[in-house]
Structure 1
């Protein structure tokens, strides 16, 4: 019987996952999506990993997805010239221009507009908020003077957050544009955009994708800034998925506000019927330990119970000592909680009568009916993947089996909760096609004799139009 796990696992690639055998073991343990973090990636390494993943997909007959995560306007300090420690009350100058080795008194900042954008009284947070400074003055050109509020060691190339400052950098930096074009050329399945603030950030990336690709590549908006939380209604209208990036979000807003923001974002994604990924520090202890803390287990379980489509591992799989074991542990947590009756799905049936209203309505009622008649699976034929997004959002207890002749979307759909996609290109008559689909579902172990199945299709089938037909059948034979 195939894995019952419906919540998807996203694992970040890195030095710990450089061998094909490791990637294979991770896929077998439950990885559904591999994330490429372009903050720390060389193109040669990435090309090698992409090729390995695609070879493994062929060998294992799976559809592991590839998510390219763009760095975005990540602000960093420069290289430090040695041990530098600051204490509260110290004055530090942040300078732009030509890079230099930093000291405890003077630090290089890679963000050239920094002196123009910050104002006295605003906070500068360094190294995930471990160090806090307050801006005293700026010359508006190349220097900002700040006082240390919370001290500690100043380390090289650490990230900078400016929670009170409206920064003038675009979400798509020159590096991101270069990385995005590389990712598009290598036909990745999803692209994540970091530090999204407005819907325009997503429109800019979509235009770049359209310019360089004949195929749609869905975009994940990473929510890690207070502006993004404020603009979430407009953001969900222009993206295909959300990521709750709790690392930077927990630095930019008070940490105690993050749990409720997480719940709000998951709800927004469910209403928009787009997938949502929960990320950062999920199993952090397992970077160096074989056992997660009880709090981490709870965190993963609660994210699923909030309604997350996917949970993500960062350092645990990119640099951790136990990249395979952490997947096994996470998969066991997901399997134990995701079928709980405590998980509530927002029941807001489609009501806006757009041209896709019929498809949305058929998908909604298929999910409801599957639960009522305890159907084992819902099968759907799709060319764009649209029905898979719709059915997945309603969280039916049945397996969601998607059949498509469009090879590009086979791997894209692997991020969606509960969805298993299969390649199928014999679009003949409705009856024959549904018989074929049932045969494949039986062969893969999703159906057995006596099981109920709901089949969705567009009639006439050869036109590959929008879904307009729902058919219920009982499996009478599973011979193939």
Structure 2
């Protein structure tokens, strides 16, 4: 049973009921809605398909809303494209006009105030590089083309050496958040996080909606400031996404692999899910097979201990979205079946949950000693699920809850299989019913060791105080 989860981004190639069904059956655990593209009507339809198919197929596939964030973009280009030639000088303007005749417009009003002579301007994921010559500090910047090429409309702009005064949430993000908070969405990702304060600001806005079971927050790591404040951002967030595309433009790309491993290690230590994203299977956007390097990238991310791997263009605009998920699933399963040894990570202590954490750690240690087939827990908040998963044991993790939205959110978490369960009468009855459920679905069989983790009395949030080793 595959433990590392797969996130599939929906887009023109896949945002329809047939494709979503096929992606779910192929192994997608989470669907990402990219709010940088697509209208609310398109996203509404996708959410409807996901909810309908979850009910129909008896699954708990999660929905992740990815906010655009304060992304700087170029304007529309006259004639669809313009050539930037090395050595020529280009004028950047904050005014809304067509890009043409050595003039490029950008959508950030503070652009001329923030950039400084000598700083780099990178466009289109670093394909175009310009060096700032001067700024009038109001509405114009003069820059020289260092690495030229073709510029098309609305390309992303990165300023890796510039301290930006952009807000963490744009006006578009706030409108999108209004939409998200009234829909069945379990996770929301914040782009271009620079500090823990960005996460705290989003959390306060989410809390202000006063909805039951609000979406959990994913911090996207794609700025050098976020790398410098890794621990604080992890502590403030519910999960982490290592967004290697923009990160590899904002910092020297040779540093990305080490940063990926650092964030995985720190996130697992904090019992926070961690996602590795961008260009995992890029070759399958147009081809039926990934490159050998892409296969190794997926395998290494699994061995690093990532909770989930994310597909972007591969499933949103690619020619083979279903085949890509199937291929990634096979690679993950093969690595996990090779008995990969996950790095032993010391977990951060939570004094308020010391008893619960100690029980969970003991249960996971016991699972390794007896080669248990299943770790079984009931949860109201998801805390036990996140904590058990962070120990990365070989045992299956089976979480029972009466909260459907929580079960969907756990589809992002390493190794967790969620089951809707409402018969929390007493501990003995619950354990009998959970055991019966796992046997009937073929997850455990005669002779298997299983470990229960629960609270006595039953149903007390944050009061896990019991473990029981049993055999089928």
Q: TM-score, normalised by structure 1?
A: 0.96
Alignment match of 2:44 (pick from 44, 47, 50): 47
For the residues of structure 2 that align with 1:84 and 1:18, how far apart are their CA atoms? 32
Q: Which residue of 2 aligns with 1:250?
A: 248
For the residues of structure 2 that align with 1:135 and 1:326, how far apart are their CA atoms? 41
Alignment match of 2:354 (pick from 352, 357, 360): 357
Alignment match of 2:212 (pick from 208, 211, 214): 214
Equivalent residue of 1:327, what SS?
Answer: helix
- Sort the Cα spacing of 1:358 and 1:22 in 2 relative to 1 into closer, same or farther, 3 A: same
Q: Which residue of 2 aligns with 1:312?
A: 310
Runs of 5+ unmatched residues, structure 1: 476-480
Conserved in 2, the CA contact under 8 Å of 1:85 and 1:151? yes
Q: Bigger shift: 444-453 or 395-404? A: 444-453
Deviation of 1:337 after TM superposition, in Å, equals: 0.3
For the residues of structure 1 that align with 2:460 and 2:42, how far apart are their CA atoms? 42
Deviation of 1:89 after TM superposition, in Å, equals: 1.0
Question: What is the correspondence of 1:320-335 to structure 2 with a 5 Å cutoff?
Answer: 320-335=318-333
Q: Deviations over 1:188-235 (max 9, x none)?
A: 100000000000000011011101123232111000011100011110
Q: Which residue of 2 aligns with 1:400?
A: 397
Please tell me whether residue 112 in structure 1 is matched to residue 109 in structure 2.
Answer: yes
Q: Which residue of 1 aligns with 2:428?
A: 431
Equivalent residue of 1:338, what SS?
Answer: helix
Q: Which residue of 2 aligns with 1:376?
A: 373
For the residues of structure 2 that align with 1:73 and 1:255, how far apart are their CA atoms? 22
For the residues of structure 2 that align with 1:24 and 1:196, how far apart are their CA atoms? 33
Q: Bigger shift: 4-13 or 337-346? A: 337-346
Q: Deviations over 1:103-156 (max 9, x none)?
A: 141111111100011111110000111110111111111000101111111211
Please tell me whether residue 284 in structure 1 is matched to residue 282 in structure 2.
Answer: yes
- Sort the Cα spacing of 1:20 and 1:376 in 2 relative to 1 into closer, same or farther, 3 A: same
Alignment match of 1:226 (pick from 221, 224, 227): 224
Q: Which residue of 2 aligns with 1:156?
A: 153
Please tell me whether residue 17 in structure 1 is matched to residue 51 in structure 2.
Answer: no
Alignment match of 2:334 (pick from 309, 314, 336): 336
Q: Bigger shift: 312-321 or 214-223? A: 214-223
- Sort the Cα spacing of 1:360 and 1:340 in 2 relative to 1 into closer, same or farther, 3 A: farther
Equivalent residue of 1:237, what SS?
Answer: helix
Q: Which residue of 2 aligns with 1:269?
A: 267
The two structures, once aligned, show a CA RMSD in angstroms of 1.2
Q: Bigger shift: 115-124 or 211-220? A: 211-220
Equivalent residue of 2:152, what SS?
Answer: coil
For the residues of structure 1 that align with 2:2 and 2:346, how far apart are their CA atoms? 25
Conserved in 2, the CA contact under 8 Å of 1:375 and 1:453? yes
For the residues of structure 1 that align with 2:357 and 2:178, how far apart are their CA atoms? 33
Please tell me whether residue 448 in structure 1 is matched to residue 442 in structure 2.
Answer: no
Conserved in 2, the CA contact under 8 Å of 1:434 and 1:455? yes
For the residues of structure 2 that align with 1:353 and 1:310, how far apart are their CA atoms? 24
Alignment match of 2:193 (pick from 191, 196, 212): 196
Q: Deviations over 1:338-369 (max 9, x none)?
A: 2444432333155x461211111111111111
Q: Deviations over 1:33-89 (max 9, x none)?
A: 000000002111111110100111011101000000001011100011124212111
Question: What is the correspondence of 1:27-38 to structure 2 with a 5 Å cutoff?
Answer: 27-38=24-35
Q: Count residues with an aligned counterpart.
A: 470
Conserved in 2, the CA contact under 8 Å of 1:95 and 1:109? yes
Q: Which residue of 1 aligns with 2:291?
A: 293
Please tell me whether residue 128 in structure 1 is matched to residue 115 in structure 2.
Answer: no
For the residues of structure 2 that align with 1:469 and 1:314, how far apart are their CA atoms? 42
Conserved in 2, the CA contact under 8 Å of 1:39 and 1:70? yes
Equivalent residue of 1:233, what SS?
Answer: helix
Q: Deviations over 1:346-395 (max 9, x none)?
A: 33155x46121111111111111111101110000100010000000001
Runs of 5+ unmatched residues, structure 2: none
Equivalent residue of 2:225, what SS?
Answer: helix
For the residues of structure 1 that align with 2:8 and 2:245, how far apart are their CA atoms? 16
For the residues of structure 2 that align with 1:132 and 1:270, how far apart are their CA atoms? 36
For the residues of structure 1 that align with 2:212 and 2:427, how far apart are their CA atoms? 30
For the residues of structure 2 that align with 1:468 and 1:206, how far apart are their CA atoms? 30
Q: Deviations over 1:261-309 (max 9, x none)?
A: 1111111111111111100011001011101100000000000001111
